[in-house]
Structure 1
Amino acid sequence: MNKYSVDKLPRDVRLEIANKHKKLRKQRGLSQMELAERSGVSLGSLKRFETKGQVSLESLLKLVFVLGRLSDFESVLKPDKGLEHIEKLFDSKKKS
């Protein structure tokens, strides 16, 4: 975390996701090699993700699919409730 803020930084979240992924992979009894083969993600990409938290979105989704957790991403960037009226404003501008 940033020493001047209580908010997490993107790096913090990235590393937390990588650590959770690694624990889940191990709970499922999968080696890095086996998960790489099943997902179609290169072993190097998987290792980089689990150590540095760096991975493409496409590769991340492939990995979590194999682990049975793709649905965890359905709520990511979900619009706030109660803002439908604002969305309608933007939709009406597109039609004009």
Structure 2
Amino acid sequence: MTFYNIDKVPTEIQQELASKFRDIRKNKKISQTQLANKSGVSLGSIKRFEQTGQISLESLLKLAHLFERLNDFDSVFKPQENLKEIEKLFNK
């Protein structure tokens, strides 16, 4: 029996975040160099993020703050309403 998973894998999410970020940066007409100077995130980190999606959490939060998007992280690790479903996973 073959199981198919429609959930995204981490690398897909990384690439999507990088693409969305790059679009925002370009729409605001800010170069990578300008962004590095304003945010305190190294130019190399910004380039790597936009190309591969890899970035430290601290740097990602700095960039989100600069674009006034920190609230986008409010739902990350937010407790689920029905914790009984999570408990079932540990009881198997």
- TM-score, structure 2 as length reference: 0.81
Q: Which runs of 5+ in 1 are unaligned?
A: 84-96
Show the 5 A alignment for 1:40-79: 40-79=40-79
Tell me how far 1:5 sits from its aligned partner: 3.2
RMSD (Å), alpha carbons: 1.2
Identity %, equivalent residues: 54
Read off the aligned partner of 2:18 and give its amino acid letter: A
Read off the aligned partner of 1:30 and give its amino acid letter: I
Read off the aligned partner of 1:51 and give its amino acid letter: Q
CA distance in 1 between partners of 2:33 and 2:17 (Å): 19
CA distance in 2 between partners of 1:53 and 1:81 (Å): 30
Show the 5 A alignment for 1:1-96: 5-83=5-83
Q: Which runs of 5+ in 2 are unaligned?
A: 84-92
**Higher Cα radius of gyration:** 1
The aligned residue for residue 88 of structure 1 is none
Question: May I ask how many residue pairs the two structures share in their alignment?
Answer: 80
CA distance in 1 between partners of 2:34 and 2:79 (Å): 36
* 1:54-85 deviation line (CA, Å, top 9, x unaligned): 100000000111111111011111001254xx
- TM-score, structure 1 as length reference: 0.78
* 1:16-55 deviation line (CA, Å, top 9, x unaligned): 0000000011111111011111110000000000000010
